[in-house]
């Protein structure tokens, strides 16, 4: 393969990538505008116009057949366990049998004897949420789409530079690779950013880093500097000739 054919194929890849980035960018922009309009509509509506309440049933099965000896459930030996003993023991510890699961509270209502152990039945309470809570949650997908649009724009600019390049070592291509890498940096902290935006008043934000995305950023930056080094070598070769 000669130089002209190689450059032609590189330019073709740039053309295809530019079209894909353009289409993807339009879709992201439409989604972003839709969310923003929805947020504006919700902002002018009374906060208590719509209330979401999450409720349901839940159960916990305690199977002690695999445990050695004669284990106890709520202070009662399982080998001699019957409904009356279980009911009496359950009433003593009922108030302490509450679990928090993903923001929902599971409270136990009754207990029954099942083969090998005990089955605890209860109900789930997730509280009530108004339009104010929904508006706050909507900020997270808006931020995600905005960052995705920024990344897509830089990817499109890179593809356009590749489409119009005379060599893959052109300065515009190298700058485009670096810009794309920098636009991906916020994605390294995406989980933390989503939590921070959706629940700004919470005091239990967990700072997390996406190591896979961090590796992607480093690899793209590394490629940019490799191309930059290749550009220097090409310039030295041209000056020698």
Residue 30: CB atoms within 10 Å: 11
pLDDT digits (tens, 9 = 90+) for 107-124: 777 766 666 666 777 766
Q: Would you state the pLDDT for residue 159?
A: 92
Q: Would you state the pLDDT for residue 63?
A: 65
3-state secondary structure of 113: strand
Measured in residues, the chain has a length of 241
Q: Would you state the pLDDT for residue 180?
A: 93
Q: Would you state the pLDDT for residue 1?
A: 59
- Kind and range of the H or E element at 120? strand 117-130
Instruction: Spell out, as residue ranges, where the chain has pLDDT lower than 50.
Output: none
**Nearest 5°: phi and psi at 59?**
-150, 155
pTM: 0.65
Tell me which DSSP letter residue 79 carries.
G
- Spatial separation of the C-alpha atoms in residues 176 and 156, rounded to whole Å: 9
Residue 94: CB atoms within 10 Å: 17
pLDDT digits (tens, 9 = 90+) for 137-163: 777 888 889 999 999 999 999 999 999
Q: Would you state the pLDDT for residue 189?
A: 87
- Spatial separation of the C-alpha atoms in residues 77 and 81, rounded to whole Å: 6
Q: Would you state the pLDDT for residue 126?
A: 66
Cross-strand bridge partners of residue 230: none
- Spatial separation of the C-alpha atoms in residues 99 and 106, rounded to whole Å: 5
Give the pair of three-digit tokens for residue 236.
């030295």
Residue 135: CB atoms within 10 Å: 17
């Amino acid at each position: 393969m000669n130089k002209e054919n190689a450059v032609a194929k590189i330019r073709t890849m740039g053309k295809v990538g530019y079209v894909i980035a353009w289409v993807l960018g339009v879709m992201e922009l439409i989604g972003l505008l839709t969310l923003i309009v929805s947020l504006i509509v919700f902002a002018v509506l009374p906060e208590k116009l719509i209330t979401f309440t999450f409720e349901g049933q839940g159960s916990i099965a305690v199977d002690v057949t695999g445990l050695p000896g004669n284990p106890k459930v709520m202070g009662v030996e399982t080998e001699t366990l019957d409904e009356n003993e279980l009911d009496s023991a359950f009433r003593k510890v009922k108030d302490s049998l509450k679990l928090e699961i993903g923001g929902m509270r599971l409270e136990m209502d009754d207990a029954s004897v099942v083969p090998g152990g005990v089955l605890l039945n209860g109900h789930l309470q997730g509280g009530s949420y108004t339009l104010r809570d929904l508006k706050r949650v909507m900020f997270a997908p808006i931020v995600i789409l905005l960052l995705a649009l920024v990344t897509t724009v830089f990817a499109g600019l890179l593809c356009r530079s590749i489409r119009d390049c005379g060599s893959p070592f052109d300065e515009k291509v190298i700058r485009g690779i670096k810009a794309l890498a920098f636009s991906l940096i916020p994605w390294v902290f995406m989980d933390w950013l989503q939590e921070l935006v959706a629940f700004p008043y919470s005091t239990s934000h967990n700072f997390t880093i996406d190591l896979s995305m961090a590796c992607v950023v480093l690899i793209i930056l590394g490629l940019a500097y490799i191309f930059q080094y290749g550009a220097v070598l090409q310039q030295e070769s041209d000056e020698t000739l």
